[in-house]
Amino acid sequence: MVTVNIAVRELGGLKRDYSLDFELPEVPAVGSYISVHRPDKPEPYGEDMIVRKVWWRLKHPEIAGRASTPVKVGTLHEILVECDQASGPWSSDAWLDQIEAARNRGVEVEAFEIARLNVRERDVKGGKGN
């Protein structure tokens, strides 16, 4: 298991909107689809994103430009997985509403490229909305 910080960018920009830490079996690759479910939404609805960059933050005890004897070994400090918001088949209504508003402002927001029925959260709840 590896701890990663999932950093979600603001729609249409590079600035971080929010971030969450996760224990994962491996580091997500660039281009991976990530869906995050939180307890305030019914299963399986949540927040969908696409991995854009993976930053490896490392620490090393060596000060000089060359390795010393004995060789000093660095360690992992943090893995930051930067993601862009996206729409997916199980995006929550609140998530989709944000994305739709951004698209209406001319912001390009990618959608997951999958052939799957998209069912809005409010339609499953009997049309009651959030």
Bridge partner list, 106: none
49-79 as b/e, with b when 16 or more CB fall inside 10 Å?
Answer: bbbeeeeeeeeeeeeeeeeeeeeeeeeeeeb
Model confidence over 110-121: pLDDT tens digits? 999 987 667 778
Any residues with CB less than 8 A from the CB of 44 and at least 6 apart, and which?
Answer: 35, 37, 90
Q: Confirm whether pTM is higher than 0.75.
A: yes
Cα distances (Å, whole numbers) of residue 73 to 4, 41, 116: 21, 44, 47
* Beta carbons within 10 angstroms of residue 4's beta carbon: 18
In the structure encoding, which two tokens stand for residue 121, read together?
């959260």
Model confidence over 10-48: pLDDT tens digits? 999 999 999 999 999 999 999 999 999 999 999 999 999
What mean pLDDT, rounded, does the chain reach?
A: 91
Q: Residue 126: its pLDDT value, please?
A: 54
